[in-house]
Amino acid sequence: MSELVIVSDEGPVRIVRMNRPEKKNALTMAMYDAMAAAIEGAAANPGLRCLLIAGHPSAFCAGNDIGDFLKAAGEGGALGAPIMRFLYALARNELPLVAAVQGNAVGVGTTMLMHCDHVVASSAARFATPFVGLGLVPEAGSSLIAPRLMGQARAFSLLVMGRPLSADEAKQAGLVNSVVEPDAVEAEAMKAAAEIAALPPQGVLASRRLLRGSRDDIVARIDEEAELFKTRLQSAEARAAFEAFMLRKR
Ligand code: COA
């Protein structure tokens, strides 16, 4: 079996690549753990100056594995420890985070971008957070970060109404920095990562801390969302939505 998350260091840039294209990079517990470890581990490596999260040309990330959600719903509804580890790693991470988005970014595929500092998207990328349609609530601190980033109206449309954003709309909403042709995404993201890595590192870290503000607020919101998520995961609404997704092709 090929590695589901591929971590490679290219000079001062650590690339964390989701690699489950046959399932559109839907995240399993093992993938959350691997991504969390890659982010946490970067802090301990003084040679690293920037992280780059990437997916596959066919999909950035289709969100949490819905089969795992269904399983969690039958086991008390708690988000697994690997999910929480990944969300805390994102929130507490100090290094600049760049993302290269091709294809769909769904659920946590989109909310993880709210923790990123520079997002390059393919003109064909699409961003969606269908939490409420699945009987769930937003996660990853997105209920706090999104209204700050794009304003209440656009955050409501995305996170509550579940209306997707095109790449251009995501740029207008402040989620994405640049929109390029699909085959230019990775090079453009790497260019931005290298540019950040070439800046005086302590100045970058101190400035990023200022711009990001309190991480305690984000972590507290992640916990608050996770409590609600747990209740919602066990709801009849959520189970019906997950089952419908799992059965849709049969
Ligand atoms: N969990 C589990 N499996 C998933 C998945 C997910 N979140 N997203 C996609 N897959 C699987 C599909 O079941 C399918 O598996 P199969 O080939 O064994 O049938 C495979 O990945 C390919 O997906 P498919 O739907 O055929 O690809 P698509 O290009 O038509 O659509 C998406 C891509 C991402 C738009 C669509 O798969 C989707 O909506 N996924 C669910 C996203 C979601 O709701 N995530 C949870 C957010 S909280």
Average pLDDT over residues 38-60: 97
Per-residue model confidence (pLDDT) at position 159: 98
At 1, the pLDDT band (50, 70, 90 cuts) reads low
Specify whether the CB–CB gap between 100 and 189 falls below 8 A.
Answer: yes
Indicate the length of the chain as a whole number: 250
Q: How confident is the model at residue 249 (pLDDT cuts 50, 70, 90)?
A: confident
Backbone φ and ψ for 60, nearest 5 degrees, come out as: -75, -60
Please provide the average confidence, as pLDDT, over all residues in the chain: 96
pLDDT tens-digit readout, 63-112: 999 999 999 988 988 889 999 999 999 999 999 999 999 999 999 999 99
Q: List beta partners, residue 178.
A: 120
Residue nearest to atom 22 of ligand 1 (CA): 23
Ligand 1 binding pocket, CB closer than 6 Å: 23-24, 26, 62-67, 104, 106-107, 130-131, 134, 249
**Radius of gyration, CA atoms only, the chain:** 17
C-alpha distances out from residue 41 to 9, 69, 95, 139, 216, Å: 12, 27, 11, 23, 20
